[in-house]
Amino acid sequence: MGVVHIISEDCLMPWPKGKRFSSEQIAKRTATLVANGTRRKKPVVLEGIEYWRCGTCIRYRPSEDFYEDGKTASGISSVCRQCHTAASIRTRDKDRSRETNAAYMRRARSSEPERFRASDRKASARKRDKSPDKVAARNAVNSAVKRGDLMKPAACEACGEDKPVAGHHEDYSRPLEVRWLCRHCHGLVHRNKEVPDGGWLKT
């Protein structure tokens, strides 16, 4: 059967979160995994460092390259951090994550307005240096709206909902030719996705 590596009883097991297991519980869990044939193979030891094989990329990596997992006899996940992250990105609900992140940023901005104002000023300076044509086009639109030369509608041209809108440029060399879109539809266009009015796409 080989040597079974038992996790020390003084370690804080990550599963369930924050629960400390006794040596009897650890031994029982390890024995169950071994009996079921699900225990990971022994690591390769080089210069005193244990290298474990990732079940996804099949590469041998040191234990710190794996997340802790109290459900395994070795105490670490069977998949390395890099492969775990890649899998999470592939299966992530990007639209839901975007909404969650936006809600978090609204709370953060309301709690620390000065810090975010300073951050916004730095971001604006970077945009002016990196994309002067885009900044000039946006400034031209804002000035035209203030003068009354360009009318800013109250509703989004794509979904028709009464929401704050911004001018979307297809061609920054024509600064006053814009389509007024809400934040949601504007984001869809920039991600090359369909918008609600019949499938208009960014070209």
Beta strands in the chain (DSSP E): 44-46, 49-53, 60-62, 66-68, 76-80, 165-169, 178-182
Radius of gyration of the chain (CA): 27
- pLDDT, tens only, 78-112: 899 999 998 888 877 777 888 888 889 999 999 99
**Separation CA 38–CA 35 (nearest Å):** 8
Burial class (CB in 10 A: 0-12, 13-18, 19+), 48: exposed
- pLDDT, tens only, 9-41: 444 334 444 455 666 776 676 666 666 655 556
- For 48, half-sphere exposure in the C-beta direction (CA atoms, 13 angstrom radius) is 0
- pLDDT, tens only, 164-191: 999 999 888 998 899 999 988 888 888 7
The overall average pLDDT reported for the chain is 79
For the chain, residues classed under CATH 3.30.60 are 23-90
3-state secondary structure of 182: strand
Residues 23-90, CATH architecture: 2-Layer Sandwich (3.30)
